[in-house]
Amino acid sequence: MKVAPMYRTRRLWIAVSAAVILFCCATPSHAQNGTYEFNDSHFHLTNNIQEGPSIRDLLNMMGSKVGRSTVFGVPLQQEWLYGVDGDRAPTYYLHSDAPLYYYSFTDAWIAMAYKSLPKEQQARLDPMITGFNPADMYAADHIRRVLRTFPGVFTGVGEFTIHKEFVSAKIPGAVASLQDPALDRILEFAAESGLVVILHNDIDLPFAKEGSEPAYLKQINALFKRHPNTTIIWAHMGLGRTVRPPHNHSAMIEEILRDPTLKNVYIDISWDEVAKYIVATPETTRVMAGLMQRFPDRFLFGSDGAAPTEESKYLKVFYQYEPVWKSLDAETSRKVRLLNYERIFDEARRKVRHWERTHVSDASSN
């Protein structure tokens, strides 16, 4: 039977429309907008006294420049001790001699903020679990409990800290260690559940002697090797405010990236304190850009925004890295700024949701 031209045209239009709908439904929302400048692999919604912008303010600051972002609190609360600071309320860990303590409510706070959003806005965010003491053998149980309490919410663990300049000494009790079985339990559960781990550990001590071997390089390498099935993002390349790049720092990072047993380890270049080292001179920029070009799939950009109050503050670090972006070829730049995030966090979402469907009775609808 012959079909009239009008009906052939209508059938073709229906088929094309169905294909378009199917494609759009199967494609993540972040891929539909090619104008985003970056995805943010490192963002704190709150500060050391658990204050910060609302999660809707964050989305407004992301606007059309930031496609997706991690979102987590700061796990360490700065105490306000009247005997130390009087009426002067400290808001940052360097503003007081008073101790810090682990603030576990941060995970519930982040989860409820995320759950208050419509689904299309949730799709742009990857909440992370941070409210635990990594020296506590029960820390892994806290993380498991958070997943079971808030299925469909979290994608990873971190940023959490082991050795960090000025911070570690302010936390009462046992000192966190790269050799602690409590940390191994956390990373083992992350591998089991698919959670991405953002780990802060300085490569060296503050004001270390020039030319000496970094204090924690061997220990962190050993930790990475003990957990080949855990996706680990090493925050800030191991650098800090006073932990400067050691001699041959780029060679040390390259050795990790070349090791075939450490393909699970990624490098985070977030924080303005890190950017200052990388863009200090044309030579330091050239060296870092060369490293990224050789390992384009292993670096992620993050702002390390800590409760920013306006867009200009949020975007500051991205623009600080402008000399690096200009030094990279287009494909490498896009991977570091956008694609590596999408690949790593999309896979983590898939794995964690699968774990939840297996282990959480009310997760089937997520």
User: Could you give the domains of the chain?
Assistant: 132-359 (3.20.20.140)
> Pairing between strand 100-102 and 76-78?
antiparallel
Q: What is the pLDDT of residue 30?
A: 41
3-state helix, strand, coil in the chain (%, to 5): 45, 10, 40
Q: Name which of 93-102, 216-225, 297-306, 322-331 the model is least confident about.
A: 93-102
Question: At a CB cut-off of 8 Å and minimum separation 6, what does 116 contact?
Answer: 55
Q: What is the pLDDT of residue 226?
A: 98
Q: What is the pLDDT of residue 210?
A: 84
Q: What is the pLDDT of residue 92?
A: 86
Residue 32: is its pLDDT beyond 60? no
Q: What is the pLDDT of residue 70?
A: 98
Q: What is the pLDDT of residue 20?
A: 37
CA atoms within 13 A on the CB side of 315: 17
Residue 261: is its pLDDT beyond 50? yes
Q: What is the pLDDT of residue 364?
A: 56
Instruction: Give residue 34's pLDDT band: very low, low, confident or very high (50, 70, 90).
Output: low
pLDDT tens by residue, 42-98: 999 999 999 999 999 999 999 999 999 999 999 999 999 999 999 999 988 888 999
Residue 26: is its pLDDT beyond 70? no
How many degrees, rounded to 5, is the angle at CA 202 between CA 196 and CA 204? 150
pLDDT tens by residue, 104-115: 999 999 999 999
Kindly report each contact of residues 214-218 with a partner whose C-beta sits within 8 Å and lies 24 or more positions away, as own/partner: 214/238, 214/246, 214/252, 216/163, 216/178, 217/252
- β-pair partners for 204: none
User: What mean pLDDT is reported for the chain?
Assistant: 91
